[in-house]
Amino acid sequence: MSPLLQAESLYRFYHAGDDETLALQGVSFGVEAGEMVAVTGPSGSGKSTLLGCLAGLDEPTAGMVSVDGQRLSRRPEAERAAIRASSIGMLFQSANLVEHLTVSENVQLAQRVAGHRDRDRTMQVIEDVGLGARAHARPSQLSGGESARAGLAVALANDPKVILADEPTGELDGVTAQRVVELLRARARAGAAVVIVTHNPAVADDADREITLADGRVRS
Ligand code: ADP
Ligand code: MG
């Protein structure tokens, strides 16, 4: 059995004029169902590039990503989008919320993209992140901590097998950050593979495993 999320020899080079940036230089690792892995490393070490490749938002220059035994890399964007919508939840520092939709409509949008329509699940996920009372608020009416949790509700909308979070606690106060990490941990306990990019040593300590990047490589 291969891990739920697998990165195999990922390379990602960026070209701009004569400049070449070797953002990823052969990154391989697997994340099992039930595991929470922290990705750390200095700024510019390739963490966000890695997450983009794992999510299928970006295509690696070489190597491949697979999710639940399904190859995600080197497929047409529409196919990657379908796998992403049904199997992957993404959480970014700036919550991925559509401004003119309420919290509940944002969650429903993510569900519709994946072909789901389940009002009970919509409310359940909003209650799970502690936003039951704010389900009908728009993003501009939410505090920083509430937006972070709304972004988390969107990421969890389809009960994804794989959750990828890029510094989700970066701009949160300690209590909210801890709550977000606890919710991610709960998803791992329920069988998801969770990858969390973080600068926060407490979050890294909380993970089952820490993968540190330096210059686009896993530091051993
Ligand atoms: P991190 O998230 O660890 O701070 P990134 O993955 O954002 O690192 O960046 C890794 C390297 O790739 C950096 O040198 C960055 O400047 C470069 N890079 C990232 N995105 C692009 C891009 N779209 N075009 C060119 N270079 C990029
Ligand atoms: Mg980054």
CB atoms within 10 A of CB 9: 13
Q: What percent of the chain has pLDDT over 90?
A: 75
Q: Does the C-beta of 19 come closer than 6 Å to ligand 1?
A: no
Q: Is the pLDDT of residue 2 over 90?
A: no
For residue 16, which atom of ligand 1 is closest to its CA?
A: 25
> Best of 43, 49, 57, 92 to mutate for ligand 1, by most ligand atoms within 8 A of CB?
49
Query: Could you tell me which residues come within 8 angstroms of residue 4 by beta carbon, excluding any fewer than 6 positions away?
Result: 30, 31, 32, 33, 67, 68, 161, 162, 192, 193
Name the band, by pLDDT with cuts 50, 70 and 90, for residue 139: very high
One-letter amino acid of 147: S
Q: Ligand 1: does its nearest atom lie under 6 Å from the Cβ of 43? A: yes
The pTM score is 0.93
Name the band, by pLDDT with cuts 50, 70 and 90, for residue 73.
very high
Q: Answer yes or no: is pLDDT of 42 > 80.
A: yes
pLDDT tops 80 at residue 156? yes
What is the pLDDT at residue 92?
81
Q: Work out the pLDDT band at 120, boundaries 50, 70, 90.
A: confident
